[in-house]
Chains A and B, each alone.
Chain A
């Protein structure tokens, strides 16, 4: 299972500290998804070797409108393994699900954002994953948490009906905000998302990273066409 994190300078802990803690917590990898206005530098290979946990390069595009997001997605797509777009307004949600270069629509139900059947169908078509962001369940309470749990359940019903792809994350911005997979599964059961559902969502980050790495690798030409092993001409 993977967790997608905001690392220093976007968050408070460095990628290495996240990796160390996540390895200790039983995760198989971390996806670094710093916001596009707070990128940092880190060495995934070195961290991977030191803590024996996969480190996936990623970005979460933060833009005011679809126009700005569109340019950023194009720029980052070639360098980053996972490209997410921070949703939260209806315009950005719609932009993200209609763009097949986008991997993940992060926090679609935060702020004024909403999701309906039209967006779900577009997301299925373009392979854009909805994010189930558990941060407000973990770190707020009262009315705000009630509304957030309601939105999560609504999103779950839509995703379930259309069989739309999704990911789950606690959206941590410091190593203190990480929670173990078992804790997230138990929390899911309490708020009406089954533990199987949460587990699938945590695994999806790993599958996504693996798929994108294969596509980015040199042997991949297009779907169904890959460079195989041929005899060298002597």
Chain B
């Protein structure tokens, strides 16, 4: 890639994105990048998605939660935000997604908005809706495994078995 003098280099904004899914979901960077570009193209069209860029520059996803940094051209952050909001699933796994913040550098985005995880997940047997179930607990939330799907719950909703 040819380098440009600094005043001609594109100005980027970095969107710190938080991801959440059911505990059995596995999402990789490639799948997330594909969904970002699809969402951009579908909502903003080809010219709009070319303007926005939407390149995934950092990605991390384990145990049903993850975070990513998405690169966007300065001035296109709101269309990019709208496109990212329209990602409802990655590789068929439903995801919750939110933009936690926007920074001018990757480092600032990481320091200010990411890396707050460090939460331990644990599996426990719980009583949910009068039946004994297995739940994945994290930080006050509980994803309860039902027969074929999960139910999203919190500490208020179950009793320990």
Residue numbers of A with Cβ under 8 A of B are 8, 12-14, 16-18, 20-21, 25, 46-47, 50, 137-139, 141-142, 145, 174-180, 182-184, 186-187, 189-190
Contact = CB atoms under 8 A, between A and B. Distances in A.
Chain A interface mostly helix, strand, loop or mixed?
helix
B138 to A, nearest CB: 12
A21 B99 CA distance: 14
A179 B85 contact: yes
Interface stretch (B4-12, B55-63, B118-126, B151-159): B151-159
A175 B38 CA distance: 23
Interface string B40-53: 00111000000000
A28 B35 CA distance: 30
5 contacts: A12-B152, A14-B157, A16-B153, A180-B99, A187-B86
Contacts of B1: none
Interface in B103-161: 140-142, 149-154, 156-157
B75 interface: no
A143 to B, nearest CB: 11
Nearest to B79: A190
Nearest 7 CB-CB pairings of A with B: A13-B152, A176-B96, A183-B85, A186-B82, A17-B152, A186-B81, A187-B82
B98 A25 contact: yes
B70 interface: no
Given A176-B94, A183-B98, A137 B86 contact: yes
Interface in B71-106: 78-79, 81-86, 88, 94-99
Nearest to A26: B98
A183 B18 CA distance: 13
Given A176-B20, A176-B94, A182 B88 contact: no
Given A174-B94, A186-B78, A13 B88 contact: no
A151 to B, nearest CB: 17
A189 B82 contact: yes
B141 to A, nearest CB: 7
Contacts of B79: 186, 189-190
A183 B157 contact: no
A224 B29 CA distance: 60
